[in-house]
Amino acid sequence: MFADIHPYTLSLIVHLFYLATYTAWDKTEKRLQMSNVLDVVFFRKSTTHTLNELNKILSLTGLTIIPFCYFMENTSEHLYLSLWSQIVHAVYSSWKYYGDKVPYISQLFTSIIQDLNQKGKAVSSKKIVLQGIKKVSIVAGVLSLLFLARHFIMDNTDSMHAVLGILVLLFGLIHFYTMEIDYKFVLNVRTTGNFTIIYALVAMVGLALYGTQFN
């Protein structure tokens, strides 16, 4: 088990880490640019740009902290903070992409099938595939959030918490990967964002082998 650390302290450290590495990374120059951080912190480009970048950091922070917190001494405290942070991420992302017309999950399933089966020439096959992938990502993200919330809905045994943890990370990974890939299934993530995949995979193996104590 990792040493006890306050959830807000860990969250702040990880947020600053991604601000300094992920946000600062310039895709064109292929190096860290302090000006990119200043653009976000001081709203130099636009409010929308700042909120979008902070929302990405919020997502990455969740996918970093959640794998580790299952092996900490105060697991439930970290997971509870992560739950609310990812709810904020989900609400903002829904507003960003859908406004006040957020589709029901049942509608997304139907829409995914329609996108993947569409063969008309009016829309390019690349766009159709990408639309279907992004909708799969949304469904996976919702499922991950629901399994995360399930930790707190009723009493569970440690083994049940371990199973829930694996499901949270599995669908969280699917959401992250399918949201960030292009139609060629190439992952387009800046620098340290790639490490979240490793964290989640290692934690899933750890949960399967050793379980967790929900303290």
Say whether pLDDT at 180 is over 50: yes
Number of domains in the chain: 1
Range of the domain at 43: 7-210
- Whether the CB-CB separation of 178 and 143 falls below 8 Å is answered with no
Q: What pLDDT sits at residue 117?
A: 61
Confidence label for 181 from pLDDT (cuts 50, 70 and 90): confident
Q: What pLDDT sits at residue 3?
A: 63
Domain assignment of residue 75, yes or no: yes
Domain assignment of residue 185, yes or no: yes
Using DSSP's 3-state secondary structure scheme, residue 121 falls into: coil
Domain assignment of residue 1, yes or no: no
d(CA 130, CA 165): 28
CB count, 10 Å around CB of 199? 17
How many residues in total does the chain contain? 215
Domain assignment of residue 183, yes or no: yes
Helix pair angle (47-69, 7-18), 10° resolution: 130
Considering the chain, what is the average pLDDT of its residues?
86
- How would you class 11 by CB atoms within 10 Å of its CB: exposed for 0-12, middle for 13-18, buried for 19 or more? buried
Statement: the pTM of the whole predicted model exceeds 0.85: yes
d(CA 85, CA 32): 26
The CA distances from residue 16 to 23, 109, 202, in Å, are 10, 37, 23
Is the model more confident about 107 or about 173? 173
pLDDT for 61-96, tens place per residue? 999 999 999 999 899 999 999 999 999 999 898 888
Say whether pLDDT at 122 is over 70: no
Domain assignment of residue 110, yes or no: yes
Domain assignment of residue 200, yes or no: yes
User: Which of 29, 70, 24 shows the shortest CA–CA distance to 199?
Assistant: 70
Domain assignment of residue 2, yes or no: no
Alpha helices in the chain (DSSP H): 7-18, 34-41, 47-69, 75-98, 105-117, 125-153, 158-180, 195-210
Percent of the chain with pLDDT over 70: 85
d(CA 123, CA 125): 6
The CA distances from residue 140 to 30, 39, 50, 113, 137, in Å, are 31, 31, 26, 15, 5
Q: What pLDDT sits at residue 105?
A: 53
CA dihedral of residues 107, 109, 112, 117 (deg, nearest 10): -110
Question: Residue 85: what residue type?
Answer: S
- Whether the CB-CB separation of 66 and 93 falls below 8 Å is answered with no
Domain assignment of residue 197, yes or no: yes
